[in-house]
Structure 1
Amino acid sequence: MLLTSRRLRAALLAAASATLVAATLPAPAPPVALGIGDPLFPHLGNPGYDVLAYDISFTYRGSNRKPLDAVTKIDATATQRLDRINLDFAHGTVGSVEVNGERATFATAEEDLVVTPAEPVFKGRPVRITVRHTSDPDPKGREDSGWVRTRDGLAMANQADAAHRVFPCNDHPADKALFTFRVTVPQGMTAVTNGLPVGKPETPETPGNTAEGVTTWSYRTSHPMATELAQVSVGRSTVVHRTGPHGLPVRDVVPTAERARLEPWLKKTPAHLEWMERQVGRYPFETYGMLVADAETGFQLETQTLSLFERSLFTRSELPEWYVDSIMVHELAHQWFGNSVSPRSWSDLWLNEGHASWYEARYAEEHAEQSLEARMREAYAQSDGWREQGGPPAAPRTPTPGQKVSLFRPVVYDGSALVLYALRQEIGEDAFEELERRWVRDHRDATATTDDFTGLASRIAGRDLSGFFHAWLYGKKTPAMPGQSDWRSGDKPE
């Protein structure tokens, strides 16, 4: 097309004006890591959106030291206008990002993946983020990848802040979501995750999987889950099925070679479930079971519907049976306390671990004559020292940088179970049992805070317990134990 001279001059003036405006616009701000302001993990979680569901695909190629290929799809609702979207993600390589089907640019800032969509996402609108990435189980030899390398594969241990080192996410328990997993592994290996299977495993002979020599396993949760509770197991495993209370599907995942040796422990789970239901009410999820990993972790973990246990817990001859039983109950109790009812912030951790330790101790007393009162008196004797070391139960000290497990100090275990013992002494057994049942019923599939718990306790007791809780949960020193005037912190029980 030819322009007349007048039109040419006008076009040149318009172009010059646009260039001047562009030159005066400020440069885009550099990407920065964000967080939701958790006192203990200030950079975890991200503002501006609420995750509804994750759909995560992993491809495991037979080596537990090589990165897995992965695709993470996140369905969320924007809670504010989003010109950028921050995701928690580290230890993987990002290939591409799409937002609502359109290619998006991305950059990293500390342990955040900062995504700039082609168009802003407005408040109240749905947003789907698709990230193609790798997931590294051996990031330069670091031990906090979120993946646990087992003798024959992998398992996950994301608590407290490691899920974003496995997949892009909003890595904070305040934002729970539904999960779907699709895990492709070499034939002969088994993949199991949280939730229940979706259809049958797909092989090259079945629709949906055209690669040779691999099988794809798919699972979906029926209840929302915190990212720290996600579990994916890959190995040469056997899945053992049995039935729990009310027809609940119980499935255990064990190294195939250890199947017979572990059966005496596996068969205990239905009875453990029945015992916990007598204490606090019906089990809150669609399935339960144990994942026994052939790895030395130094911990057990309450991943939702499929608790992680290290193999040696069940094979060490020096551990008495009652002790192993009580640890199994501890992780089971977390399915109510911590999983179904999740902490709004990590300072509410005492509600998780204190309750799990409480029911662990209760079970040991009822089934093995391990005195609850003696255990609590021992905890009372050490409580001041625990508070000095780790802070009071509801105001724990920040974990040591790079050492997430330092958050899990004695004060959040027996030090917090001691608070529950004191509360039962203060309000009586009947009110305490009503509180426990109401707590898991009223906050099922949700998050809750310490203030929610103390407020409910006051309503059930029919009186203001704020003074009691302030001293027990936030005091530098352990208060006097109700009904136990002879207990002294620092004293060694006889």
Structure 2
Amino acid sequence: MLLTRPARPHPALRFLRRPKAALLASAVTVCLVAAGAPAEPLGVGDRIFPELGNPGYDVAAYDLAFTYPGSNDKPLKAVTTIDARLTSSLNRINLDFAHGTVESVDVDGRKAAFTSAGEDLVVTPDHALPLGSVTRITVRHTSDPRPADDQDGGWVQTTDGLAMANQADAAHLVFPCNDHPSDKAMFTFHVTAPDGYTAVANGLPTGAVRTGGSTTWSYRSQHPMATELAQVSIGRSAVVRRTGPHGLPMRDVVPAADKKELEPWLAKTPDQIAWMESKIGPYPFETYGVLMAQASTGFELETQTLSLFEKDIFTEPAYPKWYIESVMVHELSHQWFGDSVSPRTWSDVWLNEGHATWYEALYAEEKGDHPLQDRMKAAYGASDRWRAAGGPPARPKPPAPGQKIGIFRSNIYDGAALVLFALRQEIGKDAFERLEKVWVQENRDTSVGTADFVRLASAIGGRDLTGFFQDWLYGEKTPPMPGHPDWKQVPPPAAASPAKKS
């Protein structure tokens, strides 16, 4: 994710960026719960979001069906079907779900009791589920696009419909799920909307069926996906198709009335994919495209195979072309770093954002004449302040109450890219570039953590880099930059005197 700006661009084009995910701080043991014991929320022990995710099962596939009523002032009808393998014996199943009404739950085709506990939907089937068994859970529910008072994310209302922005912890505001990036699964979508609307989702289309005054569009992913990366667009949209490198099928989703104006930006994506492939290898998914939504979010988001952008970033004249293209590359980079290779825990989010920021900056250097070293030197000067404010890159401070996306701070964007710059300085450019390629190739379609990156970097770098990473990723102070002993921390500018009241 990239926090691109405040409501209006700063004259100096300074922009914030947005963060992502993390995993198990401690092992969780799951056992059979006494039938009469009260339901309680569970979690996988993530340091950042301790009650997200659920122990005891591994989701293999989601089948999501949404019926859009034609306006955003009432809930969508929905059916979520989950196929999961039990990793513990259970007589209750906790699903993450909030901001919707559950009508019924079936487990393996038989009615099950259910209740809520915190932000969990707790399901009690009429039979115990043994370790190793495969179960199907079907939840009939509503999915509410109206904002919740104390929750961020989920459905995003656009001027002509809806889109999704589930990062980091908001997929369960849309559908019941195991809402943690450590549990990736296959996804199928069925979206029904009235005539005049078009629905698009992650993956490739599998059909469209018109019935009466509505159409049901179906899509299916060909690679596992984290819940935070799910995307459904419903709007009065045009779908623009083209072919990318190596015959890659591409589709962009834009407001139909703006198709011609936005086409020059859409046409840039194939070359951007080719540029990324020249750096780190083949694009990892079955399709790609951008979704330009008529919405005000303040961020762009790398939803898998269909990145979400505010339309206005492409039409705001204050943004130079090189900047907009680098933002596009930031979200494209995430298809490798964050989507294909997902974080095991939300403390590992620096692996997503640091790499996306790195390739964004490298693209700006090669295509826009904005030297990466200048940006890294500036980041170095601010790094101690970022660490104090948000924590070191691999141990971000938890979000403040009511600010769940607050983990997306400068320390995991330019601060994490600075770690990669230091690593390249430490092991050399050739070893660093090999590391990047091997990392995405060996870990494709998985969830991995910081320790995995440290081990691979040490193997390719030819020496134990544990101490190097300990200082750069977890230290309260920024270590000296290899090869640049003259780089120093820069004190913050003096605060301006408060304006006098008249």
- On whether the aligned pair clears a TM of 0.5, the verdict is yes
Partner of 1:203: 210
Partner of 1:11: none
Matched to 2:69, the amino acid is R
- Matching of residues 144-155 of structure 1 within 5 Å: 144-155=152-163
Aligned in 2, Cα 1:464/1:409: closer, same or farther, shift over 3 Å? same
Partners of 1:233 and 1:392 in 2: how far apart?
Answer: 35
Q: How many residues are treated as equivalent by the alignment?
A: 460
8 Å Cα contact 1:136-1:145 kept in structure 2: no
Partner of 2:190: 182
8 Å Cα contact 2:39-2:122 kept in structure 1: yes
Partner of 1:160: 168
Q: Deviations over 1:18-66 (max 9, x none)?
A: xxxxxxxx87110000000000000000000000000000000101121
Q: Which runs of 5+ in 1 are unaligned?
A: 1-25, 205-211
Residue of 74, 77, 90 corresponding to 2:98? 90
Partner of 2:289: 289
Partners of 1:140 and 1:340 in 2: how far apart?
Answer: 30
Partners of 2:35 and 2:225 in 1: how far apart?
Answer: 39
What's the TM-score once normalised by structure 1's chain length? Answer: 0.92
Matched to 1:202, the amino acid is V
8 Å Cα contact 2:188-2:220 kept in structure 1: yes
8 Å Cα contact 1:137-1:145 kept in structure 2: no
Partner of 2:30: none
Q: Deviations over 1:193-239 (max 9, x none)?
A: 0000002x1002xxxxxxx2010000000000000000000000000
SS in 1 for 2:209: coil
- Matching of residues 127-276 of structure 1 within 5 Å: 127-140=135-148, 144-199=152-207, 201-204=208-211, 212-276=212-276
What's the TM-score once normalised by structure 2's chain length? Answer: 0.90
8 Å Cα contact 1:145-1:166 kept in structure 2: no
Q: Given the alignment of the two structures, is residue 312 of structure 1 paired with residue 312 of structure 2, yes or no?
A: yes
Matched to 2:68, the amino acid is Y
Residue of 64, 76, 99 corresponding to 1:68? 76
Partners of 1:404 and 1:441 in 2: how far apart?
Answer: 31
SS in 1 for 2:323: helix
Partner of 2:354: 354
SS in 1 for 2:138: strand
Partner of 1:460: 460
Q: CA deviation at 1:400?
A: 1.2
Partners of 2:427 and 2:456 in 1: how far apart?
Answer: 12
What percentage of aligned pairs have identical amino acids?
66
Matched to 1:203, the amino acid is R
8 Å Cα contact 1:194-1:304 kept in structure 2: yes
SS in 2 for 1:328: helix
Q: CA deviation at 1:188?
A: 1.2
Partner of 2:125: 117
Residue of 108, 112, 124 corresponding to 2:116? 108
Superposed CA RMSD in Å reads 1.2
Q: Given the alignment of the two structures, is residue 53 of structure 1 paired with residue 27 of structure 2, yes or no?
A: no
Partner of 2:364: 364
Q: CA deviation at 1:401?
A: 2.0
Q: CA deviation at 1:142?
A: 5.5
Matched to 1:463, the amino acid is R
Q: CA deviation at 1:143?
A: 5.8
Q: CA deviation at 1:297?
A: 0.5
Higher helix share: 1
Partners of 2:147 and 2:124 in 1: how far apart?
Answer: 26
Q: Deviations over 1:112-131 (max 9, x none)?
A: 00000010110000000000
8 Å Cα contact 2:153-2:167 kept in structure 1: no
Q: CA deviation at 1:145?
A: 4.5
Partners of 2:261 and 2:492 in 1: how far apart?
Answer: 40
Q: Given the alignment of the two structures, is residue 447 of structure 1 paired with residue 453 of structure 2, yes or no?
A: no
Q: CA deviation at 1:144?
A: 1.7
Matched to 1:39, the amino acid is R
Aligned in 2, Cα 1:492/1:30: closer, same or farther, shift over 3 Å? closer
Partner of 1:413: 413
Partner of 1:14: none
Partners of 2:194 and 2:181 in 1: how far apart?
Answer: 33
Q: Given the alignment of the two structures, is residue 470 of structure 1 paired with residue 470 of structure 2, yes or no?
A: yes
Q: CA deviation at 1:402?
A: 2.2
- Matching of residues 311-350 of structure 1 within 5 Å: 311-350=311-350
SS in 2 for 1:273: helix
SS in 2 for 1:198: strand
Task: Compare 398-407 and 244-253 and name the one that shifted more.
Answer: 398-407
Partners of 2:64 and 2:250 in 1: how far apart?
Answer: 24
Partner of 1:19: none
8 Å Cα contact 2:44-2:50 kept in structure 1: yes
Partners of 2:450 and 2:336 in 1: how far apart?
Answer: 16
Q: Deviations over 1:286-319 (max 9, x none)?
A: 0000000001110000000000000110010010
Aligned in 2, Cα 1:364/1:234: closer, same or farther, shift over 3 Å? same
8 Å Cα contact 1:138-1:145 kept in structure 2: no
Q: Which runs of 5+ in 2 are unaligned?
A: 1-33, 494-502
Aligned in 2, Cα 1:349/1:99: closer, same or farther, shift over 3 Å? same
Q: Deviations over 1:448-485 (max 9, x none)?
A: 10000011000001101111000000000000000001
Aligned in 2, Cα 1:353/1:140: closer, same or farther, shift over 3 Å? closer
Partners of 1:251 and 1:325 in 2: how far apart?
Answer: 18
Matched to 1:445, the amino acid is D
Residue of 26, 39, 62 corresponding to 1:31? 39
8 Å Cα contact 2:150-2:402 kept in structure 1: no
Largest Rg, 1 or 2: 1
Aligned in 2, Cα 1:327/1:472: closer, same or farther, shift over 3 Å? same
SS in 2 for 1:274: helix
Partner of 1:12: none
Partner of 2:9: none
Partners of 2:182 and 2:378 in 1: how far apart?
Answer: 34
Partners of 2:378 and 2:305 in 1: how far apart?
Answer: 32
Residue of 58, 64, 88 corresponding to 1:80? 88
Partners of 1:73 and 1:345 in 2: how far apart?
Answer: 25
Partner of 1:482: 482
